[in-house]
A and B are shown apart, each in its own frame.
Chain A
C-alpha cells in the first residue's frame, strides 16, 4: 500500500472532510455520493449500530486504516460501544453479539469473500431474520462501504495506523 497520495485536491478547503479529500476533484459525482451516503445512514430499516457493524467488518477485511479508525457518532448514540466493536473479529460466532448482529457480519463476509457461494443455511437464516427491505439495505450498506474503503486504499496516502476518531455523517 502506498504511503504517497496518488491524487491531490488543491482546491480551497471547505471544512468538509469529504469535499476536501481527493473525491472533491469529481464534483459531478460528489453530491450524489454524499447524498446516497446520508440516505444509507438515515433512511433504511437497519439501525445505525447495525450499519456500523457491517461498515467496520468491511473496513477490517479491506484493511482501510481510515475506515477502521472512524466511529460514527450516531452509531455510538445507538449503543455501539468499543466492547461490541471488539467482537467484530475472527471468532465472532462465539462472541456476545446477538444472532442478528452475527448474521450482519456473516453477510458482510459473504459479500467480501465469496459472493457467488452463499450456502443454503445462511440464506435461510437471513430470510428468517430480515425483511426484503432490510436485506437490500444491508446489501447497499456493505457495497457502499466496500467501495469507499477500496477507494481510499486505491488512492494511497494511508498511514499504518490511526487513533479512533468520532465523526458525524458528512452533510
Chain B
C-alpha cells in the first residue's frame, strides 16, 4: 500500500479520483491499440524507462507481450542483435528523453521517423510523457513492488 490512499496498486490509486480514472484509463489504453508504433516496441520503451528510474513496480507491470529474452537483455539493447533497428531507434530516443529531454537531437527524431514516420514520432513522445509520468508516480506514491502482479497477464496483448 502506498501513502496517498488505502489502495495498493497504480490503477486502484488513480481510481480514488473517480471522475479522472475512466478518461485516464481510456487514454492509457489507446496507447496500446494505435497503429503508429507497435505495442511491443512501446512496451520495451516503458520497461527501459522503468529501468532508468529504478522502479521495481513498473518493471513488474505488463502492458504488452514481449519475448522474455528481450526483457532480460533490455539494458544492453545497443549491443544486442535481437533488437531491431526500429526498436533501437525508439530505445535510444527513450533513454535521452528520460535523462534530459532537452538533449534530444534532430538525429534522434529522424531515426524514429525513418521507421515510423512523423506520426510515429508524435505517438512516441506522447506515450513517453504518459509512461514517464506513471513511473514517477509509482515511485512517488511508494507503491509496493508486488502491487502489479495481479494484472501480470497484461491489459493489451
Contact = CB atoms under 8 A, between A and B. Distances in A.
Contacts, number: 156
Given A115-B53, A146-B129, A154-B104, A137 B121 contact: no
Nearest to B33: A28
Interface stretch (B11-19, B60-68, B75-83): B11-19
A139 B27 contact: no
B23 A143 contact: no
Contacts of A72: none
Contacts of A4: 106
Contact of B3 (A2, A39, A123, A146): A123
A162 interface: no
Nearest to B18: A133
Contacts of B133: 142-144, 146-147
B30 A153 contact: no
The bracket for how many chain B residues form the interface is: 35 or more
Most central of B14, B19, B27, B135 by chain A CB within 10 Å = B27
Interface stretch (A30-38, A79-87, A91-99): A30-38
A6 B122 CA distance: 9
Interface string B120-131: 011101101110
Nearest to B17: A136
What secondary structure prevails in chain A residues at the interface with B?
Answer: helix
Contact of B141 (A28, A127, A137, A139): A139
A62 interface: yes
Contacts of A40: 20
Contacts of A169: none
Interface in B40-96: 53-55
15 contacts: A2-B106, A6-B121, A7-B119, A26-B119, A26-B122, A28-B33, A35-B26, A44-B20, A111-B136, A118-B142, A135-B4, A136-B20, A146-B133, A151-B129, A154-B97
Interface of B: 3-6, 13-14, 16-20, 23-24, 26-27, 30-31, 33-36, 53-55, 97, 101-102, 104-106, 109-110, 113, 118-119, 121-123, 125-126, 128-130, 132-137, 139-142
